[in-house]
Chain A
Amino acid sequence: MELVPDNLYIDRGPPLPESYGVRRLVAMVKNPYWVYVYWDLPAEDYLRARSESEECVLRVHDLTDGKTYEVGADIERRRHYLDVGDDRSYVVEIGLRNAAAAKEDSWTPFAASQYIATPPSGPGEGDVKLVCRDGAPTGERTPGRPLRPRPGRTDKEEVIVTAASFRAQIGRNDTGGAGITRPARKSDRSPDGVCARPDGVKGREKPK
């Protein structure tokens, strides 16, 4: 079987599938103020969206302050740029809104995105601490151990909520924006006697 005939496509490469036969919505951070979303839906969804009475809508759930708002989108474009706020977490849904129907029947969801977090656009809050680390980081390999990732990672699901799960893991308060309140670590203990500082430079504690 010929995998990809080399000389058929001179210019911009072979055509790629228009759809991967899944039902999904993916949100991606472009910068602190813009999120890109794209979707891949079954043919019947696009068909249904052509009906007069329903409008394709992106529902944006701002998890930081618990608000939800809706933005109209062209379902056929399969992509949209959303105007968002910095240092916030979002989940986006795509579906149809029927203006004529009773409120509870007016929403037909098609797909929901994973959680995403926009980056902060300014410095974080809280007091910074000095920690001492003499060797390789926590996930270190021991010599001779095969190069395999350590157990206990959180990416069991195929679509991983890296930012949100990371924040959840370290105890970031997504509703209050209060900064990081992660559990104390061994390395937070006073480094006295742990670190040899050959040049004699003293670490500086934050003034109280």
Chain B
Amino acid sequence: MTVGHLSLVLHAHLPFVRHPEYGRFLEEDWLFEAMTETYIPLLRMLTELAEKGVGFRLAIGLTPSLSEMLADGLLIGRYREHLERLTALARDEVGRTSRDEPEFAKTARMYLEEFEKTREYFEGAGGRILDRFRGLMQSGHVELLFSAATHGYLPLFITDTARRAQIQVGYENFIKHFGAEPAGAWLPECAYDYGIDDILAEFGVRYFIGETHAVLNAAPAPEMKTNAPIFCPSGVACFARDVESSKQIWSRAEGYPGNGLYREFYRDVGYDADYGRIERFLHGDGVRRNVGIKYHRITGPVALGEKEPYDYEAARAKAAEHASHFLSSRAAQAERVSSGIGRPALMAAPFDAELFGHWWFEGIEFLRRLIEGVHYGNNGIGLLSPGDYLERYPENQEALPSPSSWGDGGFNEVWINDSNDWIWPHLHAAEERMIVLARSFRSASGLLRRALNQASRELLLAQASDWPFIMSGGTHIAYAQKRLRTHIAAFNALCDEVEGGSVGEGALAALEKKDNCFSEVDYEYWHPEDEETRA
């Protein structure tokens, strides 16, 4: 008998980073690392389970900026080269460790084997791993969510029109890549503000994922708390993050990923190897960085230099143990809650996809064991996607969610603070200028249309929530500042040209080639057609 429904939602996102003007570019590694460590291992694992006949149902959100990169020919080609370099390094390491450091030899062979499988999978998909996500959607194993075009932080936009444009580009981008309408929405940073659900309703989107207090602080207060979704007055459902399940994974003190047997992320061959040997695997600046081969385990609260050798077999066994603990905890939680709400408890567990594999190396194994545990086990917990939940339980509480986000502090503080508040006057001015231009130039054609569409792309790229997020305490701060300023400056220059009545083809073409995302963008999204009919 089902006592509880577990809704696992994996949110895959990276900002659009693509620099054709350089041969190799440091920040493009974000994509390559996520592909090697998360996206492809996740796809491989899910495909294997599906082929074995293991039934499962997960929700995965892919943001449009990520989808555009995964489908981009230049980046696919560069990833192929990256993987070749990485495999060459791993081969090198197998030889070296068996000679000089036998305690790492087993791990070195594991990496080589993994990278080779990854390469095989990647080539088997013709480099287009997006198609594999689509395949899992079509086979019914995965429910796919769309998101706003560049993962813009919607609550801090100043117009509904600009919020809608981000959502509309994202919606159409999803249809372009996946050939179907999305089941639901991943709101960037789970950031909800009054009115955002209204825009989703315009597109017929059935649900979005919200932060816990979006529902706990809703009005009126939902009695089922986060153990069932709520319907906003617009009719769109909000599924809130379940605190207990996410705590077991995220908590610094109690979270699984901090276990001493798991792989240590920060101890990497990029730093440990002889410089002469590692240099050719580094970027052109020759600076030592993580390369993705790591031989140590977390061990405990000791300095990086004192970490002990990693044993992947012991780590995988621990991941299986954790998966089983997670499942029995969900069953206990559901037992506790379900009778009080008169239906099996829903536990919505949204996570950054990149946690699994990239940050928490054993996370993919954890997911595999979790899925198998649900399939073969019998503890009353089932995997149910949010969309399936609404099919089974069309009756839910109606309340207005509270504005919130899953960022630190729970509201907008990560995206407005002393480090990044200077960006908003520029972003708001650009938002409004785009609306004015879309209103002034109806049905533009030729060069003018291209310039207006490219201005739209530059605006969308400037709006990515990643730039203020990185400014707020990450590494790569200068890069985030540069990206934001570069897109705003390009936007303003294009608008000046449009307003001045002379668009220069050469510079426009160069920008189109560089910032080539969202072929579907239409500047008229910033001028909804119904506006004219209003008094």
Q: Are A12 and B507 in contact (CB under 8 A)?
A: no
What's the least CB distance linking B346 to chain A, in Å?
12
A53 within 8 Å of B by Cβ?
Answer: no
Q: Are B412 and A117 in contact (CB under 8 A)?
A: no
Q: Are A137 and B201 in contact (CB under 8 A)?
A: yes
From A43-51, A59-67, A90-98, A150-158, the one touching the partner chain is: A150-158
CA–CA, A24 and B417, complex, Å = 20
Chain B residues with CB under 8 A of A149: 164, 168, 199, 202, 528, 530
Chain B residues with CB under 8 A of A117: 194
Q: Are B528 and A9 in contact (CB under 8 A)?
A: no
CA–CA, A30 and B410, complex, Å = 10
Q: Which of B378-427 contact A (CB under 8 A)?
A: 390, 392-400, 402-404, 409-413, 416-417, 421-422, 424-426
Interface string of B431-469 (1 = CB under 8 A from A): 010011000000000000000000000000000000000
Chain B residues with CB under 8 A of A133: 231, 235, 237, 390, 394-396
B189 within 8 Å of A by Cβ?
Answer: no
Q: Are B392 and A127 in contact (CB under 8 A)?
A: no
What's the least CB distance linking B36 to chain A, in Å?
29
B160 within 8 Å of A by Cβ?
Answer: yes
Q: Are B220 and A125 in contact (CB under 8 A)?
A: yes
Q: Which of B201-236 contact A (CB under 8 A)?
A: 201-206, 216-223, 231, 233-236
Q: Are B216 and A123 in contact (CB under 8 A)?
A: yes
What's the least CB distance linking A181 to chain B, in Å?
11
Count of chain B residues near A, Cβ 8 A: 98
Q: Are B489 and A134 in contact (CB under 8 A)?
A: no
Chain A residues with CB under 8 A of B219: 120, 123-126, 179-180
Q: Are A201 and B393 in contact (CB under 8 A)?
A: yes
Interface string of A90-129 (1 = CB under 8 A from B): 0000000000000000000000001001011111111111
Q: Are B432 and A159 in contact (CB under 8 A)?
A: yes
What's the least CB distance linking A95 to chain B, in Å?
19
CA–CA, A45 and B37, complex, Å = 55
Quick one: which of A30, A119, A120, A159 has the most chain B CB within 10 A?
A119
Known: A29-B412, A149-B199, A151-B530. A13 touches B481 (CB 8 A): yes
B51 within 8 Å of A by Cβ?
Answer: no
B511 within 8 Å of A by Cβ?
Answer: yes
Q: Are A170 and B435 in contact (CB under 8 A)?
A: no
In the complex formed, the residue of B with least CB distance to A198 is B392
B193 within 8 Å of A by Cβ?
Answer: yes
Q: Are A26 and B204 in contact (CB under 8 A)?
A: no
Q: Are B396 and A130 in contact (CB under 8 A)?
A: yes
Known: A124-B217, A203-B342. A31 touches B481 (CB 8 A): no
B486 within 8 Å of A by Cβ?
Answer: yes
From B96-104, B122-130, B151-159, B277-285, the one touching the partner chain is: B151-159
A175 within 8 Å of B by Cβ?
Answer: no
Quick one: which of B159, B235, B493, B533 has the most chain A CB within 10 A?
B235
Q: Are B400 and A163 in contact (CB under 8 A)?
A: no
Q: Which of B162-197 contact A (CB under 8 A)?
A: 163-164, 168, 171-172, 193-195
Q: Are B530 and A153 in contact (CB under 8 A)?
A: yes
Chain B residues with CB under 8 A of A122: 217
In the complex formed, the residue of A with least CB distance to B172 is A147
B52 within 8 Å of A by Cβ?
Answer: no
A2 within 8 Å of B by Cβ?
Answer: yes
Q: Are B416 and A36 in contact (CB under 8 A)?
A: yes
In the complex formed, the residue of A with least CB distance to B398 is A131
CA–CA, A12 and B344, complex, Å = 52
B44 within 8 Å of A by Cβ?
Answer: no
Q: Are A20 and B429 in contact (CB under 8 A)?
A: yes
CA–CA, A123 and B222, complex, Å = 8
Chain A residues with CB under 8 A of B171: 147
CA–CA, A198 and B497, complex, Å = 60
Please list 30 pairs of residues, one from A and one from B, whose beta carbons are closer than 8 Å in the complex, sorted by A's number: A3-B493, A4-B486, A13-B482, A14-B485, A17-B426, A30-B417, A38-B424, A119-B404, A123-B218, A124-B217, A124-B218, A124-B402, A132-B395, A133-B237, A133-B396, A137-B205, A148-B530, A150-B202, A150-B530, A151-B530, A158-B159, A158-B435, A160-B160, A162-B194, A167-B194, A170-B233, A185-B233, A201-B343, A203-B395, A204-B342
Identify the B interface with A (CB < 8 A).
21, 155-156, 158-161, 163-164, 168, 171-172, 193-195, 198-206, 216-223, 231, 233-237, 341-344, 390, 392-400, 402-404, 409-413, 416-417, 421-422, 424-426, 428-429, 432, 435-436, 478, 481-486, 488-490, 492-494, 497, 502, 504, 507-508, 510-511, 528-531, 533-534
5 tightest A-B CB contacts, nearest first: A124-B219, A13-B485, A137-B235, A123-B221, A139-B201
